[in-house]
Structure 1
């Protein structure tokens, strides 16, 4: 079995209107929400051994904050520029290439593509993945390249304002 966590980047800052969208940092709430959501996963005994992120600053910073909570060095986060505002097809391509040694992989990316891809999996209907939300599924397969043609089971959905 392979498990996938789709994680939308935490809340980003709009303080600098001249800053390119790709370079926007997290705001104070985002810097607080990311470690909190990582701790929620840890409290549920969710182990992550594969780390993948968009190269955009807000997504990669979110990934680094999650990794820090898991005591994983940021150098273990694989980055894909294509995950920046990626359509579902890019998620499919990235998943098919994941390391088979990874049982559970977290992918950090952006809306609208991350919500579209989560819905495309067909196990739940989500109108919008809020910032720093986590959507998880299990694929009943042994290899990531087979994940999207295997049976998919809903695992979890959580977000910062979900108390």
Structure 2
């Protein structure tokens, strides 16, 4: 059975400053618009993840919540994985391999550079650096979530907010 992993880098956040901890940085107006555009694009293309996993950092969680709302998904069902915030690509792998086999489409919201490294690790593709709010779609044929590892997936699509805002 085919599995689809959608990796979403959080949308544009407020700049880092000494007054605010990195973990607590919120989306700025551009980031709110990017998240809504991606959510609308997901809905228009009938992309319906079975499970949402997110870093608990404000900017990643808000990106997840806005996309969930656009898809009519209850935001309380978003699964928070604290290790994604600063645990490196290994934390991303742990979040994915721990998912129940009942789910076939997983969307995971995280941070650069780890999310780009993770997408490249799984697919062997060269993404450079994922854009803020960008989504990488990686498909796995005949694999269980727990079996996913290096170069076992196929990058089938990469979309950015700028691309989908141009589609409207």
Bucket of the pairwise TM-score, normalised by the shorter protein: over 0.9
Runs of 4+, deviation exceeding 3 Å: none
CA distance 1:155–1:18, change in 2 (3 Å): same
Q: CA deviation at 1:44?
A: 2.0
Q: TM-score, normalised by structure 1?
A: 0.93
2: distance between equivalents of 1:88 and 1:147?
13
Greater mean deviation of Cα atoms: 13-22 or 70-79: 13-22
**Superposition pairs for residues 131-150 of structure 1, below 5 Å?**
131-148=132-149
The aligned residue for residue 106 of structure 2 is 105
**What SS does the corresponding residue of 1:84 show, helix, strand or coil?**
helix
Gaps of 5+ in 2: none
The aligned residue for residue 32 of structure 1 is 33
What's the CA shift string for 1:104-153, capped at 9, x where partnerless?
00000000100111111234211100100000111113521122278422
Gaps of 5+ in 1: none
Give the RMSD, CA atoms, in angstroms: 1.7
Please tell me whether residue 44 in structure 1 is matched to residue 42 in structure 2: no
Aligned length in residues:
163
**What SS does the corresponding residue of 1:6 show, helix, strand or coil?**
strand
Please tell me whether residue 59 in structure 1 is matched to residue 60 in structure 2: yes
Residue 54 of structure 1 contacts residue 80 of structure 1 at CA under 8 Å; is this kept in 2? Answer: yes
The aligned residue for residue 92 of structure 2 is 91
2: distance between equivalents of 1:60 and 1:50?
14
1: distance between equivalents of 2:110 and 2:157?
17
Residue 85 of structure 1 contacts residue 111 of structure 1 at CA under 8 Å; is this kept in 2? Answer: no
What's the CA shift string for 1:28-48, capped at 9, x where partnerless?
001111010111122222121
The aligned residue for residue 162 of structure 2 is 161
Q: TM-score, normalised by structure 2?
A: 0.90
CA distance 1:150–1:12, change in 2 (3 Å): closer
